[in-house]
Structure 1
């Protein structure tokens, strides 16, 4: 009898297949200043001549305009993509915990189409050998894959709103429920959730509606543009086909520290060969 469970495809194999279509004969050049990585990325990605199928060539320049590296042998490109992923994670386009962020609603980002650029940047980084985003919440990842999700109360990043909604969720009588609702009346009206509470049973449905509006419905437009950007180089399509393979790249997963990882943290600098110090150091290194 055949197994009904599809075998998990290694994500490296999927990305290798996507990157095999990148042309190494032609390049797209990016001039980047480390103090303005996002601005440099936007200039590059929004150019009419930009083609994600061409190799990215990055040149860093300091404030005086001197080139730090004239030739991109891969290092500057990876450094640029690393800085870009960090910049996107800290941007006003996302909100929430450091390693588990949801989309935020930012009028400037929406007007300037930054959400699309952010999605494209993540797709390009994955296929061009850069780091993964690794900061999206499981809620956003599930939404990317399935198109729908039931967010949790903890997904609300606005701490003031979260505390108010918690009080609603903790109400045990109809009187408590009406009192906890009072500070939220304007918000509920804007969210389309304003309605009379006839029994305590209405509490859970109200909390669910608030969370769904705040985390999902409110950011539908940013989410759609983010998805459009992620379609670059076929990345979103592969994410939806192989969610288990891509989840560790999009969502932070703490790993157990290994001896090899600790070993890799250190670069050993030994004293000159033949010296007494060198002999003692070589003995210590084994430990």
Structure 2
């Protein structure tokens, strides 16, 4: 068919080919390049201050969009429109590129191609716009005097109004402009002050002239007219000053008893917020310490609110007192150690507890217990209390009875019983305590003194943490002012008999167990199963006043309500009481079995 009808199957256009059709050239892609105009030839890039100075002078950094088909002449015109000061350069310019690294980097010259700087060269050298190109004049050096805000170089920059002079200033030069405006404002103020000073000098001269007409009273040093100064001086000597006999308004200095101190501390509790913690009776110490330290939303100075695991009781005060009582018992057992004379306890030398800030937390718990109706922490030795009052170790007097560490107390016994023949066996232990003198029987007192100081002074960091915790209610300040009134609250007393207040109490507890300075007040109730929580709170509140009064006399008091009608709660409470009393585990198990058989 193509041979028979070639005209129908010919692909070329018919007619003569006079000229090729016009095909317009498509514009190339564009890319962004950062340029920086330098004032002269440099070996390194400018620093931050120099960059700001160049920007204020109309130089500095600009971002330009280049086309892939741009020529050298088009590129020069684009730079000239961006940097008007480039027209003042007649000695030529070249592009530079910075090397890698941070800070001020070295500049390397970029020689142009045969046709000048083309788009292909700029795109390759700048890494497709990743690197900044520096423009540096070859022969001239431009000045860096700051240009006015209305200069042509700043036309395309975003501007903001200066609040001082109400002028529109480019954002890049606005910080420097603000400083200049403030300086001008200060100069104006100084000139105004100079004028006012002149006026004040004139006024003071007039006052001096007026004072020359008056006379000064020799008693009160006030100025009076010469005609009345004699009458004033006659009656001025008989007057008394208002400042005599003025007493301090500090309420801390007005305390008369320990009850006044406790009442004042209780008023310092922040009732607007609550310090909530959730603890377990099985691991009260560790859980209580962790919860106390992790609570960051509120301060321990706020009202304490305690919740026990697997207990439905609502804390209206009794659970808080129960927690504080149990917590102080655990703190006393784990962070303090008692000496053989049973006259108080020293902090235990434990760097792990010191690193965990347990002693500071213990101080906060003690302060909260005193402020919120808990027991008094009256188990410290007297020298520890005196250090907590003053914070000065130089004023403390310690003796061999204050050594509660078992090894060091045994070392003191060995030194006292040592002779010239066997005292050399103790040299290693003596040197460990910091003694550097001659080890002999004649130096026995000095050696024992070194052991005592080693045993007590190493506990100072623990007492410092404890003192920081007591600052919760300004207790160190109160203790320093009223040392005799605060001593029964912290130091073990000498009276081990039950006070008469227990016999005349209206609480009428079912049982009161007295065991070596510890009181266990047991209250029995028979509630309905739905009223167990209310019965527990009611029975606890009933004996609060009795327990608080006993605490004032140095007793470790615990109120233990026992709900007979709620299953095995009586058995658990009885077991806990017997263990605290000191009965061995075998007898406790036998009693536990008997109680289960009778319940």
**Coarse TM-score class (shorter-chain normalised):** 0.7 to 0.9
Is the partner of 2:278 in helix, strand or coil?
Answer: strand
Q: 1:19 aligns with which of 266, 289, 302?
A: 266
Task: Kindly tell me the number of residue pairs found equivalent between the two proteins.
Answer: 250
Instruction: Find the partner of 1:40 among 272, 280, 287.
Output: 287
**Is the 8 Å Cα contact of residues 164 and 183 (structure 1) preserved in structure 2?**
no
Aligned CA distance change for structure 1 residues 245 and 259 (closer, same or farther; 3 Å): closer
Name the counterpart of 1:122.
366
- Tell me which protein shows more helix as a share of its residues: 1
TM-score of the superposed pair, with normalisation by structure 1: 0.78
Superposed CA deviations along residues 71-124 of structure 1, whole A, max 9, x for unmatched, are 211000000000011000000x21124661011211220221111111111111
Q: 1:58 touches 1:76 (CA, 8 Å); kept in 2?
A: yes
Deviation at 1:58, TM superposition (A): 0.9
Structure 1 residues 206, 115: CA separation in 2 closer, same or farther (over 3 Å shift)?
same
Aligned mate of 1:58, from 285, 289, 306: 306
Q: 2:441 matched to 1:208? A: no
**Superposition deviation, residue 68 in structure 1:** 3.0
* Segment drifting more, 79-88 vs 23-32: 23-32
Partners of 2:500 and 2:376 in 1: how far apart? 24
Asked if structure 2 preserves the Cα contact closer than 8 Å seen for 1:141 and 1:251, the reply is yes
Evaluate the alpha carbon distance shift between residue 67 and residue 139 of structure 1 in structure 2; reply closer, same or farther with a 3 A threshold: same
Given that residues 336 and 348 in structure 2 are in contact (C-alpha distance below 8 angstroms), is that contact kept between their aligned partners in structure 1? yes
Q: CA 1:196/1:39 → structure 2, altered by over 3 Å: closer, same or farther?
A: same
With normalisation by structure 2, the TM-score equals: 0.39
Give how far 1:187 is off: 2.7
| Residues 336, 346 of structure 2: 8 Å contact kept | yes
> Residue in 1 aligned with 2:112?
none
Deviation above 6 Å: which 4+ runs of structure 1?
Answer: none
Match among 431, 446, 450 for residue 189 of structure 1 = 431
Alignment CA distance shift 1:145-1:258 (3 Å):
closer
Following TM superposition, by how much is the alpha carbon of 1:266 offset from its aligned partner in structure 2, in angstroms? 5.1
Q: Which runs of 5+ in 2 are unaligned?
A: 1-252, 512-599
1:24 Cα deviation from its structure 2 partner: 1.9
2:388 paired residue number = 144
Once the two structures are TM-superposed, the CA of residue 22 in structure 1 deviates from its matched residue by 1.8
SS at the partner of 1:50?
A: coil
Cα 1:245–1:39 shift into 2, 3 Å: same
Larger radius of gyration: 2
1:73 matched to 2:316 = yes
Given that 1:34 and 1:60 are in contact with CA atoms closer than 8 Å, whether structure 2 keeps it comes out as yes
Tell me, yes or no, if the aligned pair for 2:301 and 2:368 is still in contact at 8 Å: no
Stretches of structure 1 that go unaligned for 5 or more consecutive residues are: 1-5, 269-287
| CA–CA distance in structure 2, aligned partners of residues 26 and 198 of structure 1 | 63
Q: Once the two structures are superposed, what CA deviation does each residue of 1:8-40 show, in whole Å capped at 9, x if it has no partner? A: 721221222222132223212111211222223
Pick closer, same or farther for the CA change 1:266–1:54 going to 2, 3 Å.
closer
Q: Distance in 2 between matches of 1:89 and 1:115?
A: 11
Distance 1:76-1:177 versus aligned 2 partners, 3 A rule: farther
User: Contact 1:18/1:233 (CA < 8 Å) preserved in 2?
Assistant: yes
Matches within 5 A, 1:64-103: 66-69=310-313, 71-91=314-334, 93-97=335-339, 100-103=344-347
Is the contact made by 2:275 and 2:302 (CA closer than 8 Å) also made in structure 1? yes
* Greater per-residue strand proportion: 2
Q: How far does residue 162 in structure 1 lie from its aligned partner after superposition?
A: 1.7
Q: Secondary structure at the match of 2:404?
A: coil
